[in-house]
């Protein structure tokens, strides 16, 4: 059968529209490239190809930043409709011949307040409106066994060690993070750009309880010991929001991963602390997984985590610049 599409449609690639949609949302080539999991030159190249197909610029690039042209505005609205129709078609295909809902069981430590999980779940529900989410509290080590026993479908965690070969678990790196100290704005460290573990010796520390993640807790104490520091831990909490409240009320300073402090009260700031092992948040799922629900969720989590990582890097750069001007 003869292809009746126009030459422009034949040359159009779906990834070009996806990259366009991401850039139209982020309005920043660096962040958009991180979210799309491509290099910035590759993103720019695909946008240029799309603009060539359209026959006019879709974005304006100047000293003030990136903005959509009128043509870009029109295309963005159309692309959103196209992806909306694609989502409907995919849902119809998945549900064809089936009369059942979907259940996704997730293993994670709720204390860690992973910022990419809520937006990934929201987007997943747009793809699977009838999905039911079940959350199970467990650290990375326990997730591996739970995946093998079909108790969970996806896990998110910070592994201190790696799963054994017999675990048959795949992992995807989502975001990297260092350690930070959450403090009040009137604290003596509030204008510092970085701290070292040795400087925490005199601090009254609020830390995540050992029951939250035993291997990680033990590794933190080991780093203190190797640095010759006896930490003054005044409170161990199983809820990050409780720890933030205690910092705000003056009980002490809270030690935690940077992503835990993605959203804090205006009265608090956090400062990176060197000397601890870096953290890598990973997603875990079964080898040979074929469920579209699971695979789609992992892909959405990766995309949202890259957006979080890009935003965190930009925020850290702005904070360093602002402090240098004080």
pLDDT value for 306: 86
**Alpha carbons within 13 A on the beta-carbon side of 3:** 7
Q: Let me know: does 289 contact 160? Beta carbons within 8 Å.
A: no
Alpha helices in 113-227 (DSSP H): 117-127, 140-148, 214-226
β-pairing, 179-184 with 268-274? antiparallel
**Cα gap 173→303, rounded to integer Å:** 11
- Cβ neighbourhood burial of 177 (10 Å; 0-12, 13-18, 19+): buried
pLDDT value for 36: 79
Write down all domains in the chain, each with its CATH number in brackets: 7-95 (1.10.10.10), 102-176+280-303 (3.40.190.10), 179-277 (3.40.190.10)
Query: 10 Å Cβ neighbour count for 29?
Result: 18
Its pTM surpasses 0.75 = no
Per-residue pLDDT of the chain (326 residues), as tens digits, is: 444 444 444 456 778 888 888 899 889 988 888 887 778 888 888 899 888 888 889 999 887 789 999 999 888 888 888 877 777 676 666 665 454 557 899 999 888 889 899 999 998 888 788 889 999 999 888 999 999 899 999 999 988 777 666 668 899 999 888 999 999 999 999 999 999 999 999 899 999 999 888 888 999 999 999 999 999 999 999 989 999 999 999 999 999 998 888 788 899 999 999 999 989 999 999 998 988 889 999 999 998 888 888 777 766 666 666 666 55
pLDDT value for 94: 61
Tokens of 127: 């793809």
pLDDT value for 83: 78
Tokens of 200: 């925490």
Q: What is the 3-state secondary structure (H, E, C) of 27-77?
A: CCHHHHHHHHCCCHHHHHHHHHHHHHHHCCCCEEEECCEEEECHHHHHHHH
Query: Taking the chain, what is the end-to-end CA distance rounded to the nearest angstrom?
Result: 69
**Cα gap 143→285, rounded to integer Å:** 9
């Amino acid at each position: 059968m003869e292809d009746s599409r126009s030459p422009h449609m034949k040359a159009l690639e779906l990834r070009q529209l996806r990259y366009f949609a991401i850039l139209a949302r982020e309005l920043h080539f660096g962040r958009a490239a991180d979210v799309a999991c491509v290099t910035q030159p590759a993103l720019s190249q695909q946008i240029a190809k799309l603009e060539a197909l359209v026959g006019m610029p879709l974005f304006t690039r100047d000293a003030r930043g990136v903005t959509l042209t009128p043509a870009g505005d029109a295309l963005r609205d159309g692309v959103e409709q196209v992806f909306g129709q694609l989502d409907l078609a995919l849902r119809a295909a998945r549900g064809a011949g089936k009369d059942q809902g979907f259940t996704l069981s997730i293993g994670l430590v709720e204390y860690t307040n992973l910022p990419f999980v809520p937006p990934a779940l929201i987007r997943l529900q747009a793809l699977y409106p009838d999905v039911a989410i079940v959350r199970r509290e467990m650290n990375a080590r326990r997730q591996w066994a739970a995946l093998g026993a079909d108790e969970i479908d996806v896990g998110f965690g910070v592994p201190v060690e790696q799963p054994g070969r017999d675990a048959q678990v795949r992992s995807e790196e989502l975001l990297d993070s260092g350690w930070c100290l959450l403090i009040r704005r009137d604290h003596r460290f509030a204008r510092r750009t970085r701290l070292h573990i040795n400087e925490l010796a005199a601090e009254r520390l609020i830390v995540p309880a050992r029951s939250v993640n035993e291997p990680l807790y033990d590794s933190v104490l080991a780093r203190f010991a190797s640095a010759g520091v006896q930490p003054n831990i005044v409170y161990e909490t199983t809820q990050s929001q409780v720890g933030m409240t205690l910092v705000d009320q003056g009980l002490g300073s809270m030690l935690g991963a940077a992503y835990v402090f993605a959203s804090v009260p205006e009265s608090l700031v956090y400062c990176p602390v060197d000397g601890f092992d870096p953290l890598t948040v990973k997603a875990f799922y079964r080898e040979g997984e074929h469920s579209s629900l699971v695979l789609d969720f992992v892909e959405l989590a990766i995309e949202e985590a890259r957006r979080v990582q890009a935003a965190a890097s930009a925020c850290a750069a702005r904070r360093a610049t602002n402090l240098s001007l004080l």
